[in-house]
Amino acid sequence: MSRNGPPTVSSATNDVERVKPASRFAVGRLLLEGRAFMALLVVIIVFSILSKNYLTVNNMLTMSSHVAVYALLAMGQLLVILNGGIDLSVGSTLGLSGMVAGFLMQGVRLDAFGVVMYPAVWVVVIASCLVGALVGLVNGVLISRFKVAAFVATLGMLYVVRGFALLMTNGLTYNDLGGRSDLGNTGFDWLGFNRIADVPIGVLVMILVALALSFLLSRAVFGRWLYASGGNERAAELSGVPVKRVKIWVYVASGVCSAIAGLILSSELTSASPTAGTSYELTAIAAVVVGGAALTGGRGNIRGTLLGAFVIGFLSDGLVIIGVSVYWQTVFTGAVIVFAVLLNAIQYRGRRRRNQPGGQPPATTPADHLTEPASEPSGH
Amino acid sequence: MTGPHNGIVMSARNVVKTYGGTRALKGVDFDIRRGSVTSLFGENGAGKSTLMKILAGVESPTSGEILLDGETVDFSSTVDAREHGISIIHQELSLAPNLSVRDNIFMGREITTPTGVDFGEEARQTAQLMKEMEEEIDPLTLVAALRLGQQQIVEIARALSVDSRILIMDEPTSALSASEVTVLFKRIADLKSRGVAIVYISHHLEEALQVADHAVVLRDGSVTAVAEVRDVDLGWIVRNMVGANFSLGEPPSEEGFGEVALSIEGVSVADAANPTRLVVDNLSLDVKAGEIVCIYGLMGAGRTELLEAVAGRVPITAGRVLLKGADVSHLSIAKRLAKGLGLVPEDRQRDGLVQTMPVGRNLSLASISGLVRGVFLSGALERTLVNESIGTVGVKTTGAEAPIGSLSGGNQQKVVLGKILATRPEVFLLDEPTRGIDVGAKAEVFRLLAAGAAKGLAVLYSTSEVGESLSIAHRIVVMRRGHITAEFGPDATKEEIMAASGEAVAV
């Protein structure tokens, strides 16, 4: 999707140029670069053999709509990870977004006027997204202005946001988000149930978000700023990149993506549970990693992350279809993640071979030791 | 060099070390003698630290051999070297600040009994070591609580506590007071009498001459002179260190000077680690359009802090910075860059380059906002800018898509220069722009600066190599301890400049 070379692609081809490997290595390298795609093919082929029902258009679309929720979370997460951060609050934000939608769909009682207001569905959608953006804003400000470690700040928000979601109903679930035609607020289930040209709306939303973010990353100034500040924040800052602003925006974007995922999930279920999305943040991180992004920042793209989400989603749905125990699914998912990280380590190996005696750049390249012939006085 | 004063314990024979395309050592011979101090002299980038790292097993030579007691050795690691009785005091401290002095001294070689570590014995020995160093430091003090000089003492004490036959000291006194240096020299005399061979490296030339028996001078990766210290003087050392004036360029004609482009007015900068200390103290300096000004100074003189404060990376505590008469002191780095004030940082790996991006994207990074057409970046505009930049600064690369790590140090530096030049700055700040690049690339960097100045660019660069201050600069400003101590024209001599910096008091 993002054809205009995000770093993984371009630097990879150049690795080939520099190392000038024999052709047999080139095949191995190709498999390594395209591993998420290969993994997806393997998953599809294996399950198609094991079950006749797997490779049908209908099943593919159903599975894709499951994937859409994870993929939306993962794309938001990718932005954060490209920046060199992590967002653990996305699962909770997903839950809160659904609860906000549920709350608004039930009607807002305005005691002062003695009326109950039933906001239109589009208002509900915007309100939920704003809540997601607000969570992201808090994360971003904590991390960029107050220098709280991303892991800690978003871990805290994971609890806070989940707590708010539970507080809204004392832990109860909002059922029946269908709305009533006499109140003029029907249509919420459209997101989760309807299809356009047979494609579930959730999948279409995922595709739209993916296209938008792809263009953002590969063609907009913001994308370049993001890759630069994730690759080397100090250098980016000296090049005039507003690194703090970029950082806040990626968390806001991640919050909005989570909110959209929450809307789709609660619409599919026509109910909003305050515990929805628990531990989804880990699945999202896994999808980003399987998609080849580096947790140190600066490397990764939307295409890889989407593939990562599909690998994880198609694998777990496939295991359900062939009737494998849920517990085995957990084991398989974990194994895929470890394997993906292992391959990442192989791909990026040599880029940070030896620590330099002085400062350590965030992501070093193989040529580091080619560049400082005499690392003479630098410190004080 | 096997003369009457033999007793050579360790030597390097024809050692070559290359990093990528750069030759840091070009066939160096070096001897270390029992019971004597050999001092290694040379400017930054001459290869001193590289040679010491090879002797201490931190790095392996590309070719050549290391002899220990006449036998070829090949250290696989520092541990290996330490087992052969070689220890090194690095110029960067290698202490764990969260541990006590005692734990740092015995790190990795704890005294153990069947019931665990014998902390009492360790503390006793640590106290003894501190007494020998004439320092009142409690063995249980955390290293983080010590001032820098005391930390350096602990580092030295640790190296002394290992019974080594060969001790390499790389800038051991950079943070020490005069009395602490005296104590260190006493200890060095003790060690000599016990037959330890010592290599001593210091930027304070007089200090090194005072303690050394043999002098070896290194320049651009080759040994240029070897002598007994009693036969030579400071002038001899300086002459051999800096060599003849190989031309790094001439100052461009002065006719083109314009208005004052950059005006630094009474700027002070506080030390990040210790806010009560000023690393730049009420400093004022003007640079005119078309003028090239060089700031010369030793490490710690405050050059980097001054340039970073002008660029907006570190806050100033007093004074202001004017760009063509407009106060920019409170603007962000990005806004200053947009107004035409750009900095090429000292450490290009840490602050200059985005290693995850290819050459082209590094070059366009600082001017990327100007390449937008509509909502999106214009690929065509970016390609034009990148190709122009590659041509202007003369980057040798296979193309805009080549990974930045595939370039040599000099070409990487040109990318950092090109990135800032692409923003069309009016004031160009460069902190040690030639650090770690070879002579050819140095000359090219200076040629670029001279060409920029001829077109009206105001250039302010810093250096710790006196030869570079005497190349293209119209004016040389010497900085010492946060102040400007002297100002020279291009006709100054190396000796004058070095004397003003505190490097060599009188020649």
Is residue B325, in this structure, part of any structural domain at all?
yes
What's the pLDDT score for residue B18? 82
Tell whether B394 and B466 lie within a shared domain: no
From B373, B390, B424, the end of a domain falls on: B424
Residue B83 pLDDT greater than 90, yes or no: no
CA distances from B294 to A162, A170, B287, B303, B326 (A): 58, 69, 10, 10, 23
Q: Which chain B residue is nearest to residue A356, measuring alpha carbons?
A: B349
Using the beta-carbon criterion (under 8 Å), do A224 and B376 form an inter-chain contact?
no
What's the pLDDT score for residue A5? 37
Max mean pLDDT among A365-369, B344-348, B416-420 falls in B416-420
Q: What is the mean pLDDT of chain B?
A: 86
What's the pLDDT score for residue A367? 35
Judging by beta carbons within 10 Å of its beta carbon (0-12, 13-18, 19+), is residue B233 exposed, middle or buried?
exposed
Residue B478 pLDDT greater than 90, yes or no: yes
Question: Would you tell me how many other CB atoms lie within 10 Å of the CB of residue B132?
Answer: 15
Tell whether B368 and B443 lie within a shared domain: no
Tens of each residue's pLDDT in chain A, 380 residues: 444 434 333 333 333 334 344 455 566 666 666 778 888 999 999 999 998 888 888 899 989 999 999 999 999 999 999 999 999 999 999 999 999 999 988 887 777 777 777 888 889 999 999 999 999 999 999 999 999 999 999 999 999 999 999 999 988 998 877 777 777 667 777 777 777 877 888 999 999 999 999 999 999 999 999 999 999 999 999 999 999 999 999 999 999 999 999 999 998 888 899 999 998 999 999 999 999 898 889 999 999 999 999 999 999 899 988 888 888 888 888 888 888 878 877 776 644 433 333 333 333 333 333 333 333 333 33
Tell whether B329 and B366 lie within a shared domain: no
Residues of A in contact with B337 (CB under 8 A): 239-240
Tell whether B26 and B165 lie within a shared domain: yes
From B360, B390, B424, the end of a domain falls on: B424
Q: Which chain A residue is nearest to residue B369, measuring alpha carbons?
A: A221
From B377, B393, B424, the end of a domain falls on: B424
Scanning B371-400 for CB atoms below 8 A from A yields 371-372, 375-377, 379, 398
Using the beta-carbon criterion (under 8 Å), do A14 and B403 form an inter-chain contact?
yes
Shortest distance between the Cα of A4 and any Cα of chain B, in A, equals 10
B73 touches chain A (CB under 8 A): no
Least CB-CB distance to B377: which of A17, A220, A375?
A: A220
Residues of B in contact with A368 (CB under 8 A): 349, 355, 405
Tell whether B277 and B390 lie within a shared domain: no
ipTM attached to this prediction: 0.78
Choose the mutation target among B355, B381, B386 for the interface with A, i.e. most A CBs under 10 Å: B355
Least CB-CB distance to A239: which of B48, B376, B419?
A: B419
Is residue B267, in this structure, part of any structural domain at all?
yes
What's the pLDDT score for residue A268? 87
Least CB-CB distance to A219: which of B366, B376, B405?
A: B376
Residues B361-400: pLDDT tens digits?
999 999 998 898 888 888 899 999 999 999 988 888 888 8
Selected residue with higher pLDDT from B434 and A285: A285
What's the pLDDT score for residue B316? 92
Tell whether B329 and B195 lie within a shared domain: no
Shortest distance between the Cα of A364 and any Cα of chain B, in A, equals 6
What's the pLDDT score for residue A281? 93
What is the DSSP secondary structure assignment for residue A172, as one 8-state letter?
P
B76 touches chain A (CB under 8 A): no
Shortest distance between the Cα of A274 and any Cα of chain B, in A, equals 39
What's the pLDDT score for residue B503? 64
Residues of A in contact with B429 (CB under 8 A): none
Is residue B346, in this structure, part of any structural domain at all?
no
Residues of A in contact with B23 (CB under 8 A): 373
Using the beta-carbon criterion (under 8 Å), do B361 and A227 form an inter-chain contact?
yes
What is the DSSP secondary structure assignment for residue B403, as one 8-state letter?
B
Question: Would you tell me how many other CB atoms lie within 10 Å of the CB of residue A336?
Answer: 20
Q: Which chain A residue is nearest to residue B464, measuring alpha carbons?
A: A377
Least CB-CB distance to A238: which of B333, B355, B436?
A: B333
Question: Would you tell me how many other CB atoms lie within 10 Å of the CB of residue B301?
Answer: 26
Sign of CA dihedral B393, B397, B402, B403: negative
Q: Which chain A residue is nearest to residue B51, measuring alpha carbons?
A: A374
Beta strand pairing call for B8-19 and B22-33: antiparallel
Choose the mutation target among A17, A238, A378 for the interface with B, i.e. most B CBs under 10 Å: A238
A52-350 is classed CATH 2.60.40: no
Using the beta-carbon criterion (under 8 Å), do B19 and A299 form an inter-chain contact?
no
CATH of the domain at B61: 3.40.50.300
Q: Which residues neighbour B300 within 8 Å (Cβ) at sequence distance 6 or greater?
A: A380, B174, B481
CB of A79 within 8 A of CB of A72? no
Shortest distance between the Cα of B405 and any Cα of chain A, in A, equals 5
Domain assignment of residue B329, given as a range: 247-340+426-507
The pLDDT of B3-21, averaged and rounded, is 77
Share of chain B above pLDDT 90, in %: 34
Residue B178 pLDDT greater than 80, yes or no: no
Tell whether B94 and B118 lie within a shared domain: yes
Using the beta-carbon criterion (under 8 Å), do A240 and B337 form an inter-chain contact?
yes
Tell whether B410 and B430 lie within a shared domain: no
The pLDDT of B212-227, averaged and rounded, is 89
Tell whether B316 and B401 lie within a shared domain: no
Is residue B345, in this structure, part of any structural domain at all?
no
Beta strand pairing call for B292-296 and B458-463: parallel
* Coil vs helix vs strand at B449: helix
Scanning B126-145 for CB atoms below 8 A from A yields none
B337 touches chain A (CB under 8 A): yes
**Annotated domain spans of chain A:** 52-350
Tell whether B232 and B252 lie within a shared domain: no
Residues of A in contact with B92 (CB under 8 A): 357-358, 378-379
Q: Which chain B residue is nearest to residue A294, measuring alpha carbons?
A: B356
Residues of B in contact with A16 (CB under 8 A): none
Residue whose pair of structure tokens reads 């081809």 in the numeric block: A13
Residues of A in contact with B17 (CB under 8 A): 373
Tell whether B220 and B368 lie within a shared domain: no
Question: Would you tell me how many other CB atoms lie within 10 Å of the CB of residue A162?
Answer: 20
Number of structural domains (chain B) is 3
DSSP result, A63-109: HHHHHHHHHHHHHHHHHHHHTT---TTHHHHHHHHHHHHHHHHT-EE
What's the pLDDT score for residue A74? 97
Q: Which chain A residue is nearest to residue B399, measuring alpha carbons?
A: A14
What's the pLDDT score for residue B21? 59
Q: How far apart are CA B109 and CA A45, in angstroms?
A: 57
Q: Which residues neighbour B34 within 8 Å (Cβ) at sequence distance 6 or greater?
A: B7, B8, B9, B165, B195, B196, B197
Q: Of A303, A314, A376, A305, nearest to A340 (Cα)?
A: A305
Question: What is the pLDDT confidence band of residue B271, given thresholds at 50, 70 and 90?
Answer: confident
Shortest distance between the Cα of B374 and any Cα of chain A, in A, equals 10
pTM: 0.78
Residues B110-163: pLDDT tens digits?
888 888 888 999 999 999 989 888 888 899 989 888 887 788 889 888 888 888
Shortest distance between the Cα of B257 and any Cα of chain A, in A, equals 28
Q: Which chain B residue is nearest to residue A222, measuring alpha carbons?
A: B369
Least CB-CB distance to A232: which of B22, B353, B408?
A: B353
B347 touches chain A (CB under 8 A): yes
B438 touches chain A (CB under 8 A): yes
Q: Which chain A residue is nearest to residue B91, measuring alpha carbons?
A: A377
Q: How far apart are CA B485 and CA B487, in angstroms?
A: 7
Is residue B2, in this structure, part of any structural domain at all?
no
Amino acid at B79: V
Shortest distance between the Cα of A23 and any Cα of chain B, in A, equals 20
The distance of Cα B492 from the centroid of its chain, to the nearest Å, equals: 23
Residues of A in contact with B91 (CB under 8 A): 377, 379
Tell whether B57 and B197 lie within a shared domain: yes
Residue A350 phi, psi (nearest 5) = 85, -20
